[in-house]
Structure 1
């Protein structure tokens, strides 16, 4: 036995679906306006040329927009402004704890 929906029921279903679509569209816009997906917080002298760069390269190879200061900072950019923008932009922050991590005011901030 076939079941038919009234025009009112069909309209409610369509409205619910369009609400889901608008949430999806909003998320895509938010993601595309984000500069970075991941910010790698590390103490440079301890891990920049080992673990941090390996993690950065791996994430970039997966297509994940990743910030590592040595790789993303442009010549002439304000260091503080660049770091703050990257931190605010990224949806994930990864802290690489190392022996000297807690000695760095930048890492702790």
Structure 2
């Protein structure tokens, strides 16, 4: 008697084809989602002047360059990109004049996950504080943005209360600001300091891996792949790939 044609060997034979189809469908689904986001942004622009436009990203990194650009932030950026995640990294090209530009505001609005990296001298940068205001506004507006703060060698309590060495940097920036702007900065810092985040005061390589895994897990919720349970042998082959 001949062995059944729809046995284990047949599943192994068709598995690569199925995986290719699943990968193709995943890519198309992601592209379709991006197109829908762009279409929603265009539609919203006709009814609201604050609707996001321009390029869309999965992660926006907000940080003070002199503190972390060539260290922690660059390692985090490289690992996120290596994981296939679209990341906006402020390279100063969009910074013109004293006020935050529309391109930067749109990059924040059009990113799914916003990661402020709060370092000791973070508050010495007006740009960091302006971006943080927009980040917290996105969260407060309940537009689906996720804010994951990184407390880089600073205590979250000091961020909340603008105290300690972190508060000292903030005091240096108080004088040039008018009371209304200063109030917004304090509100944004207090709010972000209350969020659950990650503290960087140890093994940075492990922390970077943890952050990348957290970001990946949150993004995967939008792109789940459903594997039919009745395919013989496919689960084991998927795990081996």
TM-score by length of 1: 0.61
1:107 aligns with 2:134: no
Change (3 A) 1:78 1:104: closer
CA RMSD of aligned residues (A): 2.7
Q: 1:30 aligns with which of 21, 34, 37?
A: 37
Instruction: Name the SS of the counterpart of 2:56 in structure 1.
Output: coil
Instruction: Name the SS of the counterpart of 1:37 in structure 2.
Output: strand
Runs (4+) of structure 1 exceeding 6 A deviation are: none
Whether contact under 8 Å (2:62, 2:90) holds in the other structure is no
Structure 2: 5+ residue runs without aligned partners? Answer: 1-28, 40-53, 96-100, 131-241
The structure with the greater share of residues assigned to helix is 1
Change (3 A) 1:65 1:47: same
Q: CA–CA distance in 1 between the matches of 2:71 and 2:117?
A: 11
Structure 1: 5+ residue runs without aligned partners? Answer: 1-23
Q: Relative contact order, CA 8 A, sep 6+: which one is greater?
A: 1
| 1:13-56 deviation digits (Å, cap 9, x = unpaired) | xxxxxxxxxxx89x822289852111000000000111111111
Q: CA–CA distance in 1 between the matches of 2:89 and 2:121?
A: 18
